Amino acid sequence: MLYVIWEEQMTMTTTRRGLMSGAASLIALGLAAHSTQAADKITIRLSTPATETDQRAVALATIFGPAIAEFATYEPHYNASLFKQGTELEAIARGNLEMSIASAQELATILPEFSIFTAGYLHRDAEHQKKVFAADFMEPMKKKVEDELGVKLLAVMYLGRRQLNLRIDKEIKTPADLAGVKLRMPGSEAWQFLGKALGASPVPMAFTEIYTGLQTGAIDGQDNPLPSNRDSKLYEVTKQIVLTSHLVDLNYIAFSKKVWDRLSPEQQATVQKAADAAAESGRQKQLALEVELEQFFKDKGLKVYTPDVDAFRTQVQKAYLESDYAKTWPEGMVDKINAL
């Protein structure tokens, strides 16, 4: 099993071809490892770059895990300690992992149409995200993820509104003020695009490296929702938070289809209910924290202010609508999303 995990961590490319090639032997190893576990209980390992105190992690550990305990052991791994950020979906597809908190950006590296959910200023809020996930037009997209990746998207989790968080003093009012600012964005192309659309110079870097990146000055800033900023103590190494709210960010509870298919209909219903309950609890906690934390950061001595959000929205939306990403979006979907 150690070999399998190591192999996965070394593999960063997520092309479809990559997913297919060499998969058989890894799957065989993965299955062999699982068959050595207690015959009557499945072990569901979650790999995430999130901290243990992240509200999505807390909700899964306190609600999801206990709810499925009769037939499964929930085993979370935090801080990307099991799989590197961005390699989790591939790991599930290969049969080496059972669960992750997947981003639309990760899905978009494999299924380009998911880039629609990486577009800045598209989702309005947490409720809108929920409605979009439950909408009929999501069904073919969810099915494609199941058929092509062997991943079941159980529920949408609210990560929060992404805000700029900088170690430099310069006041940021409009995208032009971000010219030349080295803004850390997560690894994939879709994230780099968002950084550019905001007017910054994006730098790809894993979540777990942000603190050091800010501390050493390798980057001028990062963007994340306020709760993630607090959990990872990024406020210790930054001076300001600019409330751009440029992405109402989501993650999906991604579950191995292979494991799902081994469950009885009753167990499947329990897993689905548990995922929905955890997502809802996490969502409410994140929303409450976003309100509370503005004062927390001010108390820590950071400047927290709202820029010209219209200027950011106009520039970012234009960049997406004119991009190659937009060509991959299902016909009429932006209008359907906006109409919800």
Tokens representing 21?
């090639």
Helix (H) or strand (E) holding 114: none
Facing residues of 256 across strands? 151
DSSP string, 208-229: GGHHHHHHHTS-SEEEE-HHHH
Q: Which is nearer to ligand KDO, 157 or 302 (CB)?
A: 157
Toward ligand KDO, which CB reaches closer, 219 or 271? 219
- Of the ranges 26-34, 46-54, 139-147, 265-273, which one interacts with ligand KDO (CB under 6 A)? 46-54
Q: How far is the CB of 201 from ligand KDO (least distance, A)?
A: 17
In whole angstroms, the minimum distance from the beta carbon of 159 to ligand KDO comes to 6
Contact 14, 89 (CB under 8 A): yes
**Closer residue to ligand KDO in complex, CB, 185/259:** 185
User: Judged by CB under 6 A, which of 87, 103, 188, 245 binds ligand KDO?
Assistant: 103
Task: Please give the full DSSP string across 11-41, using - where no structure is assigned.
Answer: -----HHHHHTTHHHHHHHHHHHHHTS-TT-
**Is residue 207 a contact residue for ligand KDO (CB under 6 A)?**
yes
| x-marked contacts with ligand KDO along 107-146 as a string, rule CB under 6 A | ----------------------------------------
Q: Which of residues 47-86 bind ligand KDO (CB under 6 A)?
A: 48-50, 54, 85
- Cα–Cα distances in Å, from 64 out to 77, 91, 254, 287? 15, 21, 13, 19
Single residue of 14, 224, 240, 244 touching ligand KDO by CB under 6 A? 224
Q: Which is nearer to ligand KDO, 159 or 203 (CB)?
A: 159
Token pair 């070999």 is found at: 3
Q: State the residue number with the nearest CB to ligand KDO.
A: 103
**Does 96 engage in binding with ligand KDO (CB under 6 A)?**
no
103 vs 270 by CB, closer to ligand KDO: 103
Least Å distance, CB 65 to ligand KDO, is 17
Nearer Cβ to ligand KDO (89/138): 89
Nearer to ligand KDO, 113 or 308 (CB): 113
Half-sphere exposure of 195 (CA within 13 A, CB side): 27
Q: Supply φ then ψ for residue 280, to 5 degrees.
A: -65, -45
Q: Rounded to the nearest 10 degrees, what angle do helices 189-197 and 309-321 cross at?
A: 130
Spatial separation of the C-alpha atoms in residues 303 and 241, rounded to whole Å: 6
Q: Rounded to whole angstroms, what are the CA distances from 234 to 97, 125, 230? A: 29, 24, 7
Restricted to residues 167-206, the positions that interact with ligand KDO (CB under 6 A) are 186
Residues between 235 and 274 that touch ligand KDO (CB under 6 A):
251
Question: Is residue 289 left, alpha or beta, with left meaning phi > 0 and alpha meaning psi from -120 to 50?
Answer: alpha
Query: Six-digit token pair at 318?
Result: 């234009």
Nearer to ligand KDO by Cβ, of 159 and 319: the residue is 159
Quote the Cα angle for 77-54-211, to 5°.
85
Which of 26, 91, 101, 153 binds ligand KDO (CB under 6 A)? It is 101
Binding residue (CB under 6 A) for ligand KDO from 11, 118, 228, 229: 228
Q: Does 229 bind ligand KDO (CB under 6 A)?
A: no
Using the minimum distance from each CB to ligand KDO, give the nearer residue, 95 or 186: 186
The helix/strand count (H/E) of the chain reads as 17, 9
CB of 275 to ligand KDO, least distance (A): 16
**Which residues of the chain form contacts with ligand KDO (CB under 6 A)?**
48-50, 54, 85, 101, 103, 159, 186, 207, 224, 228, 251
